[in-house]
Homo-oligomer: A and B are copies of this chain.
Amino acid sequence: MNTYKAPLRDITFALNEVLDYESHLQALPGCEEIDSETVEAIALEYAKFCEGVLSPLYSVGDSEGCSWDGGKVSTPLGFKDAYAQYCAGGWPSLSCEPKLGGQGLPTSLAMILGEMPGSANISFTLYTGGLSGAIETLAAFGTPQQREMFEAKLISGTWNATMCLTEPHCGTDLGLLKTQAEPDTNGTFRVSGTKIFITGGEHDLTENIVHLVLARLPDAPPGTKGISLFIVPKLMPNAGSDELSENGVSCGSIETKMGIKGSATCVMHFDNARGYLLGERNRGLSTMFKFINASRVRAAFQGVSHAELGFQKSLAYARDRLQMRSLSGAKNPAGVADPIIVHPDVRRMLLTQKVLTEGSRTLLYELTKHLDIVERSPDDNKVRISSDRLELLTPIAKGFVTEAGCEASNLALQCFGGHGYIKEWGVEQNVRDARISTLYEGTTGIQALDLVSRKILGSKGRLLTDFIQETRSFCENSREPVEGESLNEALTAKLSEWESLGREVGERASTNPEEIGAASYDFLMYSGYVSLAYFWLRSALVARERLDQHSGDQEFYEAKLQSAVFYFARILPRTESHRSAVRSGADSLMDMRSADFAF
Find A414's partner among B418, B423, B432, B438 (CB 8 Å cutoff): B438
Find A517's partner among B166, B259, B322, B343 (CB 8 Å cutoff): B343
Q: Is the CB of A435 within 8 A of B413?
A: yes
Residues of B within 8 A of A171 (CB): 323, 417-419
Q: Is the CB of A350 within 8 A of B418?
A: no
Give the interface centre of A351, A421, A592, A598 by most chain B CB atoms within 10 Å.
A598
Question: Shortest Cβ distance from A55 into chain B, in angstroms?
Answer: 17
Q: Is the CB of B517 within 8 A of A421?
A: no
A584 interface hit (Cβ, 8 Å): yes
Q: Mark A577-599, 1 if CB is under 8 A from B, else 0.
A: 10011001110111111111111
Residues of B within 8 A of A166 (CB): 418
Contact A435 to B421, CB < 8 A, known contacts A324-B172, A555-B593, A589-B347? yes
A334 interface hit (Cβ, 8 Å): no
Residues of B within 8 A of A52 (CB): none
A514 interface hit (Cβ, 8 Å): yes
A–B Cβ pairs within 8 angstroms, 11 of them: A172-B417, A255-B423, A257-B422, A319-B594, A327-B514, A345-B518, A414-B445, A418-B436, A420-B439, A421-B435, A569-B584
A531 interface hit (Cβ, 8 Å): no
Residues of A185-203 at the interface with B, using a CB-CB cut-off of 8 Å, are 197
Nearest CB in chain B to that of A581: its residue: B570
Q: Is the CB of B257 within 8 A of A559?
A: no
A30 interface hit (Cβ, 8 Å): no
Find A337's partner among B176, B257, B439 (CB 8 Å cutoff): B176
Nearest CB in chain B to that of A176: its residue: B336
Nearest CB in chain B to that of A336: its residue: B176
A161 interface hit (Cβ, 8 Å): no
Q: Is the CB of A417 within 8 A of B443?
A: yes
Give the complex CA separation of A418 and B196 in angstroms: 10
Give the interface centre of A171, A420, A573, A574 by most chain B CB atoms within 10 Å.
A573
Give the complex CA separation of A432 and B429 in angstroms: 11
Residues of A292-331 at the interface with B, using a CB-CB cut-off of 8 Å, are 311-312, 315, 319, 322-324, 326-328
Residues of B within 8 A of A173 (CB): 322-324, 337
Give the complex CA separation of A562 and B555 in angstroms: 53
Q: Is the CB of B588 within 8 A of A570?
A: yes
A residues apposed to B, CB below 8 Å:
7, 9-10, 166, 169-173, 176, 197, 255-259, 311-312, 315, 319, 322-324, 326-328, 336-337, 339, 341-351, 354, 406, 410, 413-414, 417-424, 428, 431-432, 435-436, 438-440, 443-445, 448-449, 512-514, 516-518, 520-521, 555-556, 558-559, 562-563, 565-566, 569-570, 573-577, 580-581, 584-586, 588-599
Give the complex CA separation of A346 and B410 in angstroms: 23
Give the interface centre of A413, A421, A424 by most chain B CB atoms within 10 Å.
A421
Question: Shortest Cβ distance from A359 into chain B, in angstroms?
Answer: 15
Question: Shortest Cβ distance from A248 into chain B, in angstroms?
Answer: 25
Contact A439 to B423, CB < 8 A, known contacts A328-B512, A520-B345, A576-B580? no
Q: Is the CB of A596 within 8 A of B439?
A: no
Find A555's partner among B431, B520, B595 (CB 8 Å cutoff): B595
Give the complex CA separation of A445 and B411 in angstroms: 11
Residues of B within 8 A of A593 (CB): 555, 559
Q: Is the CB of A354 within 8 A of B597?
A: yes
Q: Is the CB of A439 within 8 A of B421?
A: yes
Which are the 3 A-B pairs with shortest beta-carbon distances? Answer: A573-B580, A344-B517, A258-B428
Q: Give 11 new A-B contacts, CB below 8 A, not counting A344-B516, A344-B589, A575-B577.
A: A258-B423, A328-B514, A345-B448, A345-B518, A345-B520, A348-B518, A350-B597, A414-B444, A558-B596, A570-B589, A573-B581
Give the complex CA separation of A411 and B570 in angstroms: 24
Residues of B within 8 A of A422 (CB): 255-258
Residues of B within 8 A of A339 (CB): 594
Q: Is the CB of A597 within 8 A of B315?
A: yes
